[in-house]
């Protein structure tokens, strides 16, 4: 008895989904894969070895340039998350540094600046800048910094606690801008970091909300409580596997 022939079916993408965009997402995940980070928590925990795939060349060149010019900075955002959470994907680099330090990299073209933030470009690489004349950013830079190895470079990066503080700080603004996609991503990042590393949350929440309005403080208290519950469920379900 022969097996029935497989039916040939045309595969179509859902409306609004671009094949080019799907390919770009896969490329991004390949180029910025967390296995490019060496001796970072995920690798030490799981015993994996660095992959032989290339790093995003413009990001590597930017880190090298920052090191050569002795620019003090801290890597934050999605690429910093790669050192702690597998599967996190990003196309840009987020740097926390002083305004004066940013002037020492003229190759970093600032396209737009508002308050403590700027949007810049380094070759093909979008770069978000967070300036340390914001007191909270300065505190993160001084108290929540570590070093991870990216390819052959020692890259200053935010700790788990520093990333949680920055994401909590950003959430009220994201909700006011109706940026639901990024808000959901940040909340998921917080929950996953809590699940994996069990940081002490009370001082982090107090730091992030120190200068916020009472309404924002109350809402972030609810959010951190919800993230903690999600983290608890994640740990329980992981332990059941």
Q: Is the alpha carbon torsion for 117, 118, 123, 125 positive or negative?
A: positive
- pLDDT tens for the chain, 241 residues long, are 444 444 444 444 445 444 444 444 444 544 445 455 555 454 433 333 333 333 478 998 999 999 999 999 999 998 899 889 876 666 789 999 999 999 999 999 999 999 999 999 999 999 999 999 999 999 999 999 999 987 778 999 999 999 999 999 999 999 999 999 999 999 999 999 999 999 999 999 999 999 999 999 999 999 999 999 999 999 998 887 6
Pinpoint the alpha helices (H) of 69-201.
77-81, 99-103, 135-143, 160-176, 180-197
| Rounded Cα–Cα distance for residues 241 and 239 (Å) | 6
| Rounded Cα–Cα distance for residues 51 and 36 (Å) | 6
The whole-number pLDDT of residue 83 equals 85
- Provide φ and ψ at 226, rounded to 5°: -65, -40
125-131 and 93-97: which strand pairing? parallel
What is the full DSSP assignment across 44-73? HHHT----SSPP-HHHHHHHHHHHHTT--E
| Rounded Cα–Cα distance for residues 1 and 103 (Å) | 75
The whole-number pLDDT of residue 125 equals 93
**Kind plus residue range of the DSSP H or E element containing 18:** none
Residue 84 carries which DSSP code?
A: T
State CA 199 to chain mean position distance.
17
Cβ contacts of 107 within 8 Å, gap of 6 or more: 65, 122, 123
Structure tokens at 23: 């390919």
| Rounded Cα–Cα distance for residues 74 and 41 (Å) | 17
The partner residues of 129 in beta bridges, in order of sequence, read: 95, 118
The whole-number pLDDT of residue 89 equals 63
Structure tokens at 175: 């909700």
- Domains of the chain (ranges plus CATH)? 21-157 (3.30.460), 159-241 (no CATH)
| Rounded Cα–Cα distance for residues 241 and 52 (Å) | 30
**Inter-residue contact 55 to 150 (CB < 8 Å):** yes
């Amino acid at each position: 008895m022969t097996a029935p022939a497989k039916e040939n079916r045309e595969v179509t993408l859902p409306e609004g989904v671009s094949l080019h965009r799907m390919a770009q997402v896969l490329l991004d995940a390949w180029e910025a894969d967390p296995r490019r980070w060496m001796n970072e928590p995920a690798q030490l925990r799981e015993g994996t070895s660095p992959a032989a795939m290339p790093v995003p060349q413009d990001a590597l060149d930017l880190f090298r340039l920052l090191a050569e010019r002795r620019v003090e900075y801290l890597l934050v955002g999605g690429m910093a998350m790669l050192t702690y959470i597998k599967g996190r994907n990003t196309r840009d680099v987020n740097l926390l540094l002083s305004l004066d330090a940013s002037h020492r990299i003229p190759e970093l073209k600032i396209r737009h600046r508002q308050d403590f933030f700027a949007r810049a470009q380094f070759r093909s690489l979008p770069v978000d800048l967070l300036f340390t004349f914001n007191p909270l950013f300065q505190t993160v830079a001084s108290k929540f910094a570590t070093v991870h190895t990216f390819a052959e470079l020692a890259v200053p990066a935010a700790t788990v606690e520093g990333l949680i503080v920055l994401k909590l700080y950003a959430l009220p603004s994201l909700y006011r801008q109706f940026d639901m996609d990024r808000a959901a991503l940040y909340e998921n990042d917080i929950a996953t970091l809590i699940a994996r590393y069990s940081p002490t949350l009370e001082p982090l929440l107090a730091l992030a909300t120190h200068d916020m309005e009472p309404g924002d403080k109350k809402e972030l208290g609810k959010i951190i409580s919800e993230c903690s519950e999600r983290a608890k469920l994640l740990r329980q379900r992981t332990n059941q596997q």
